[in-house]
Structure 1
Amino acid sequence: MSRPRAGYIGFNRVPEASGAHSPATGIWTLREAEALKRAGTWPNTDGDPYFSNVSLLLHMDGASGSTTFTDSSGTPKTVTASGATISTAQSKFGGASGSFGSSAYATSPISSAFEFGTGDFCVEAFVFVTSFSNARIVGIGQGANGGGPYTGWSLRISSTLVGFYRYDGATETDRSTSHSAAANAWHHIAVSRSSGTLNTYLNGTRLASVTDTTSYNRINSDNLEIGRVNFGGTTIPLNGYIDELRITKGSARGYTGSTISVPSCSGRQRRLGDHRLRCAVQQQRRFIVEHVR
């Protein structure tokens, strides 16, 4: 009498650590799977350990020309396009990204989920800038309604500076630092704060680390804006594309060292905060556990 043999059924085998074996269809036994995990060659399909802290997660995926921007966080927010569209012209992951420009941005109603106070947080995204300006990638309280030059916080990039910025009408907090990123290329930008230390990262390398106890809360009731800043009635757009925008409140996501791991399509990396593998070969696949006789 035959007995069940537990195995992993998938679309291909996972290459061994040596990389000498090419993918092939087949079934993995649990013993094989555990051996591959120990060797570090089994895809990591664990969920995001900080997912419950994610306030906004925009993968910017969809059909070219679409104006639907879906928030994939655990508490989805409404995101409204104002000229911004999904574009397949450029993409870091998923075959599409958000296209932004002088009259193209998106908004989400202000929420306490976007207010960090003096606590830990992380704001990050992949950006592809076609022409640099003193642009904001994302921010809150832009002073659009009242016309005042206020911003609760904003993630910015210019031709020479990258970082975090706040102005409450009296005190300016500029946590920007110099960079050498080129236009017309994808860059991962992240600003995190952990226990009063604010770190700025570009493509996985920390550019600056400073003591920061600023309260990054709203100045007014203006929307969160993506792809531009309306700074006291003056609009400063981001000319280019944004992919994988993620805002995390209450956690710095472990972004505290001199370097951080940046998601990529090499090996077993995934897009930000997702449970799906994002490499070209592994895109939107599932590994299924079944009993096979």
Structure 2
Amino acid sequence: MMIINPSRFSGGGGGGGDPHFANVVLLCGFDGADGSTTMTDESQAGRTLSVFGNAQLDTGVAPPFGTSSLLLDGTGDYLTAPDSEDFNFGTGDFTIEMFVRTAATANSNYLLVHAGSSGNISYTWRCNASNQQDVVWSTNGIGTFNLVGASGGVPLTTWKHLCFERSGSKLRLYADGVMETSSTTILASALFNSSAVLAIGMRSTSTTNGFNGHLKEIRITKGVARYNSDAGFTVPTAAFPRG
């Protein structure tokens, strides 16, 4: 395990400022030299990320923008951020998004997970064996509900912008700006406040098999539903603003 202490980054980017930048609680662009294990959270929180296995930056596969992305090989490779009140969404809106390129079909293609064992589950977001987005979420940490996107919606070796969002009583999943599914089952309930670490590319309860492929530009915005549209939205074509 390697512990990386990130430096704060407050400059602009992405062609303009972000009016919700103060609400961004995690922002990982995965920019750097090929093979680097230096991972930074570029949000104002400047979180420390822990790097496990062979997780590293890679320039061998061209990302949607920039020159590098996070490479995970599916076997013990992942990142974590310590649990934080910033990751407790409560009854509020949120937007979790990233660019994803899967290299193999598997139920273990975990994107972002804030969940421990039963009794400590907030959500688990993955691409499943049908190459579709699959979110398991809970309001009490034990009982779970599913939000599942289109079958084949995340095809192999293809970059996709994926988004998991809450707006009021509605949860949505988008792929490349198209809403794949939504649910109002959550009503006015709070998403459970898990005390588990926030894991990128893996579950915290089983750290052998995880995401196989590349990830780019992970952003979590707390308190804001950035897209909030059943009709979809235009996918960003540049790095998210850093201020």
What band does the TM-score fall into relative to the shorter chain?
0.7 to 0.9
Q: CA deviation at 1:178?
A: 2.6
Once the 2 structures are TM-superposed, how far is the Cα of residue 215 of structure 1 from its aligned partner? 2.4
Distance in 2 separating the partners of 1:131 and 1:106: 19
Shift of 1:47: 0.3
Partners in 1 of 2:20 and 2:230 — Cα distance? 17
Matched, 1:95 2:70: no
| 1:226 match | 200
Residue type of the alignment partner of 2:136: Y
Please tell me whether residue 56 in structure 1 is matched to residue 26 in structure 2: yes
Q: Which residue is equivalent to 1:175? A: 147
Whole-angstrom distance in 2 between the partners of 1:130 and 1:151? 27
1:273 is aligned with what amino acid? P
RMSD (Å), alpha carbons: 2.2
Percentage identity across aligned positions?
A: 32
Query: Partner of 1:282 in structure 2?
Result: none
**1:234 to partner: Cα distance:** 6.6
Please list the CA deviations of residues 245-273 of structure 1 after superposition, one character each: whole Å capped at 9, or x if unmatched: 01111001133231111112xxxxx2123
What is the TM-score when the length of structure 1 is the normalising length?
Answer: 0.70
Question: Residues 158, 240 of structure 1: CA spacing in aligned structure 2 closer, same or farther, 3 A cutoff?
Answer: same
Q: Is the 8 A contact 2:128 2:134 kept in 1?
A: no
Among 47, 72, 80, the residue aligned to 1:77: 47
Greater length-normalized contact order (CA 8 Å, ≥ 6 residues apart): 2
Unaligned runs of 5+ in 1: 1-43, 265-269, 276-293
Corresponding residue number in structure 2 for 1:165: 136
Shift of 1:150: 4.7
**Any conservation in 2 of the 1:117–1:216 contact (CA below 8 Å)?**
yes
Alignment map for 1:13-92 (pairs within 5 Å): 45-83=15-53, 84-90=55-61, 91-92=63-64
Which residue of 120, 123, 126 maps to 1:153? 123
Aligned residue-pair number: 222
Deviation at 1:130, TM superposition (A): 0.3
